[in-house]
Amino acid sequence: MNFPFYIAKRYLISKKSTNVINLISGITVFGVATGTMALIVILSVFNGLENFVTSQFNSFDPDLKITIAEGKTFDSENSKLEKVRNLENVKYYAEVVEENALIKYEDIYHPFVIKGVGDDYEKMTGVDTMMIDGEFKLHMDKTPLAVIGSGVGGFLSVRLDFSHPLKIYMPKRTGKAKNIIQDPTKAFKIRNIYPVGVFSIDQQIDETIIVPLSFVKELLDYKTEVSAIELKLKEKTNVQKEKKKIQNILGNAFEVKDRYQQKEFMYKIMKSEKLIIFLILAFILLIASFNIIGSLTMLILDKKKDIETLRSMGASMKLIKKIFLFEGWIISFVGVVFGLILGALLCWAQTEFELVKLQGDADTLYITAYPVKMQLLDFLYVLLTVFFIGFIASWYPVKYITRKYLMLR
């Protein structure tokens, strides 16, 4: 057995001449364990929230989205796009037109995003699973229908009873200035459409109105123009490889974005928030680990006679310093192990028993408790962080306190 480690272990569990040393050691272990547990729990909650938000967006965002590199729209009747449509791994190919429009419902006006989609849109997304009222339906016989986000429905106080239609005001692409001055309404092309369903995904997405593609094209006087092509790939397809293949087919005139790139800013914010929380809790853990300095300092002073005995028996100064360095590491190790176990147990209990509930009406929430997802990498990062902090906290008293009080050079 490693002699310094053996002595350090004995010092940790043996009774000291002053009971306060045992108390400080116990407080140190408790502080490290609590900080470690907090890190694991908070990081796991962030993972759970990120996983939930990602799954929500995945129900609306396509696997890949093709847009024009410069400009707003492009011609969908393109030989390169036809090659993309016929690729083996492309399951669904949907033309999309998105535009801002002025919406009127009864006496309320407000601008919202109107999104025209094809008949396969319901198949290629999971938006129908996010319905909170009504149903996802874009046609009744040959009559176009609308599915609105909860932000639209809430602001306009929309009712799904066919009592009032949504009145869509779309600026005309051409028009005579004289007629517009005489009657401003002539600047708009106006169409009515009845809402039949309400979905809820995200605050930004919830301000979208989904309508048939033909309805938007008629409003905008488009023929083959589209603003984007959305693709759903077959299962087990390597998205990045397929994205690269499509980009090579289309060239630099088009941009091909995966789900991360479609919401790049949001994902970066979530990653930044997780990193900031990790650093804040690591700093708190560093402060808690200062107790190691106090504990080792008092232990060194308490074991002066033992150190003199070891020196008289031929123990080197390096070996004596190792004893107290191992003492600090053992305190950190015990604390981090207990912290990791407690953190994992708390996360498991939250998953199984939903200990901490979300505030709000349970009928309108997709989840009723904070989601938790443990990741092995988080445990590894926390373990390495605590060990690093423990090393620094142990190294200082061993190097400087022994030199000052025990004259170990």
pLDDT 10s digits, 83-142: 999 999 999 999 999 999 999 999 999 999 999 998 888 888 888 888 999 999 999 988
182 has pLDDT over 70: no
Residue reference for tokens 């950190």: 332
Length of the chain: 409
75 has pLDDT over 50: yes
- Bridge partners, residue 257, by sequence: 65
- Bridge partners, residue 212, by sequence: 117
Are 206 and 150 a contacting pair, CB within 8 Å?
A: yes
d(CA 321, CA 408): 9
227 has pLDDT over 70: yes
Give every CB contact of residue 246 below 8 A, 6+ residues apart in sequence: 64, 66, 84, 87, 231, 256
406 has pLDDT over 60: no
Give every CB contact of residue 353 below 8 A, 6+ residues apart in sequence: none
Looking at the chain, the whole-number percentage of residues with pLDDT higher than 90 is: 53
C-alpha triplet 171, 176, 177: angle, nearest 5°: 85
204 has pLDDT over 90: no
pLDDT confidence bin for 296, thresholds 50/70/90: confident
Could you read off the pLDDT of 31-65 as tens digits, one per residue? Answer: 899 999 999 999 999 999 989 888 877 778 899 99
What pLDDT score was predicted for residue 321?
81
Are 212 and 144 a contacting pair, CB within 8 Å?
A: yes
Give every CB contact of residue 301 below 8 A, 6+ residues apart in sequence: 405
d(CA 124, CA 122): 6
Average pLDDT, the chain: 87
247 has pLDDT over 60: yes
Q: Which of 380, 371, 274 is nearest to 48 (CA)?
A: 371
d(CA 239, CA 247): 12
- Bridge partners, residue 188, by sequence: 171
DSSP H or E segment with residue 259: helix 259-262
Are 335 and 30 a contacting pair, CB within 8 Å?
A: yes
d(CA 93, CA 79): 15
d(CA 196, CA 279): 47
C-alpha triplet 190, 196, 201: angle, nearest 5°: 100
298 has pLDDT over 90: no
Phi/psi at 219 (nearest 5 deg)? -65, -40
* Residue 136: Cβ within 10 Å count: 19
Instruction: Supply the pTM of this predicted model.
Output: 0.78
18 has pLDDT over 80: no
Average pLDDT, stretch 298-319? 78
pLDDT confidence bin for 409, thresholds 50/70/90: very low
Q: Which of 148, 154, 145 is nearest to 130 (CA)?
A: 148
Looking at the chain, the whole-number percentage of residues with pLDDT higher than 70 is: 91
